[in-house]
Amino acid sequence: MRKEDLLKPVDSEFIGNSESNLSKVQKINAQILKTGTTTVGLTIKDAVILGTDKRATMAYFIASKIAEKLYRIQDHLWLTTAGSVADCQFLVDVLQAETTIYQLGHDNKPMLVKSAGKMLSNILYQNKMFPFEVGLILGGVTEEEGPTILDISAYGSILPEKYCAVGSGQNFSYGVLEAKYKDNLTVEEGKEIIKKAITASIIRDMASGNGIDIAVIKASGPAERELIPI
């Protein structure tokens, strides 16, 4: 049987009623579990800087004030997450495992950022009929690519960017990024822009808040990480 046949409607009063009830439940759950966040990334001269807020919400309820949204995949490769927490954590685990397996088979050579992005894109695209509810920023630095930022959507699209923002507070962050970003920023200049961008979202977006988590990723060595409580 083809996948398309599984998605065809079936003439059954029982199934019809079940689908109707399920649809109502899904709509209710979607309203109750609606989440928000602010994640931002940008490239600078020799590094990538990623930042997120620390708040996790369920509709108007603040579910966590110390939520983790910035993840180390490898030393040179980091990921920010927005959307369903369970979906994000699953994808982080898979990407960490797959990139580690790749590097072990290639004399620990760092996996290209675009290759890791394509791997993640394939996973998301294969599930697009029932998609992971996520918005991701994959950032890293390799000798071949230099500083690289990829904006990856729930359906698997990959948009290379110099800077981007994802989440419910992204519109407010973009206002700062558009006004402040320029080429060849220093680390301190880049961090200051990230702080201002996320702060702008925290002020206006009630789903964002409770601090700023920042990581500076370079070609070698562990990332420099900073937590700014608010």
CA–CA separation, 216 vs 221, rounded Å? 11
Picking from 170, 154, 168, 195, the residue whose alpha carbon sits closest to that of residue 49 is 195
Residue 218 CA from chain centroid, whole number:
19
Q: Is the pLDDT of residue 219 over 50?
A: yes
Mean pLDDT within 44-49: 95
What residues contact residue 50 under an 8 Å CB cut-off, 6+ apart?
A: 39, 40, 41, 70, 78, 80, 137, 139, 194, 214, 215, 217
What domains sit in the chain, N to C, each tagged with a CATH number?
A: 38-228 (3.60.20.10)
Q: What is each CA distance from 1 to 5, 8, 126, 177, 183, in whole angstroms?
A: 7, 12, 18, 49, 53
Is the Cβ–Cβ distance between 173 and 197 less than 8 Å?
yes
Give per-residue pLDDT as tens, 174-187: 999 999 999 999 99
Mean pLDDT within 124-140: 95
Of 1-10, 16-25, 172-181, where does the model show the most confidence? 172-181
Give per-residue pLDDT as tens, 48-96: 999 999 999 988 899 999 999 999 999 999 999 999 999 999 999 999 9
Mean pLDDT within 1-12: 51
- Per-residue pLDDT band for 11 (boundaries 50, 70, 90) equals low
- Positions marked catalytic: 37
Residues in the chain: 230
Q: Between 186 and 29, where is the model more confident?
A: 186
Q: Is the pLDDT of residue 10 over 70?
A: no
What local confidence, expressed as pLDDT, does residue 188 receive? Answer: 96
CA–CA separation, 93 vs 73, rounded Å? 9
